[in-house]
Amino acid sequence: MAIPNYSYIDTELSAINTILGTIGQAPIQGIDLENPEVSLIYNILQESSLDVQAEGWSFNREEHITVVPDANGFIEIPANALHYDISDGQSLRTKDVTIKNGRLYDKVEHTDVFTSSVEIDVVWQFGFDLDLANRANVGHSIPAVFKRYIIAKASTRAATQLITNPDLAQVLAQQEALARSICMEYECNQGDHNYLGMGHNSSYKTYQPYQALSRI
């Protein structure tokens, strides 16, 4: 007998049923967006997923991606990019960019035409069931702890919008806070952060007292 992989047990359907359960509604067998209540819960789930991912976590953030302009000099913004900016930490910051008309726009030169490649930091948006990002079409890029956090956030919103029960909303808010704290622990362990703010491919060698006499 095959052992099921419980890491990916949270699907959109199971998430919607969990949210429905928190507000005292019966589970559903399939996602029927023609049903007003199901459609509302589905939208709340998607909004909560977007809000959580937009913060930028280790699982959906990439740094120092080299992007080359197309034949017209444009840098088109991928549809699933929640954040798209010039990489921090570059020694020469000669560009200040924003997104305009779906393209990268240089506010210093007042143009969306680029003549050379740039290094970009990106925050990607992944689907709850399947990934939306380029080169990541196998699904399941949202870690299980973040899915639980998204569901907890969506449950709090659903309870606030659909029923009038302050006590329930308070309990759900506490569960949401606990789920976020678990995500923060995951992020601290997975993110390889350091107090110097140093990124990848960099190192810092501290001063060591025994080398005092060898300094020049």
Domain positions in the chain are 6-57+127-190, 61-124
| pLDDT surpassing 60 at residue 135 | no
Average pLDDT over residues 129-140: 55
Taking the mean position of all CA atoms in its chain, how far away is CA 15? 18
Pairwise CA distance, residues 180 & 166, whole Å: 21
Pairwise CA distance, residues 26 & 15, whole Å: 13
User: Of the ranges 26-35, 116-125, 203-212, which one carries the lowest mean pLDDT score?
Assistant: 203-212
| pLDDT surpassing 60 at residue 6 | no
CATH topology of domain 6-57+127-190: Hypothetical protein yqbg (1.10.3230)
- CB of 91 closer than 8 Å to CB of 105: no
DSSP letter at 76 equals B
Cβ count near 194 (within 10 Å): 10
Pairwise CA distance, residues 172 & 26, whole Å: 18
- Angstrom CA distances, 169 to 20, 47, 159, 162, stand at 14, 18, 6, 11
- CB of 11 closer than 8 Å to CB of 128: yes
Q: Please provide the distance, in angstroms rounded to a whole number, between the alpha carbons at the two ends of the chain.
A: 68
Phi, psi of 168 (to 5 degrees): -65, -45
% of the chain surpassing 90 pLDDT: 62
| pLDDT surpassing 70 at residue 207 | no
Q: Which residue carries 């996602």 as its tokens? A: 31
The tokens for 76 are 């088109």
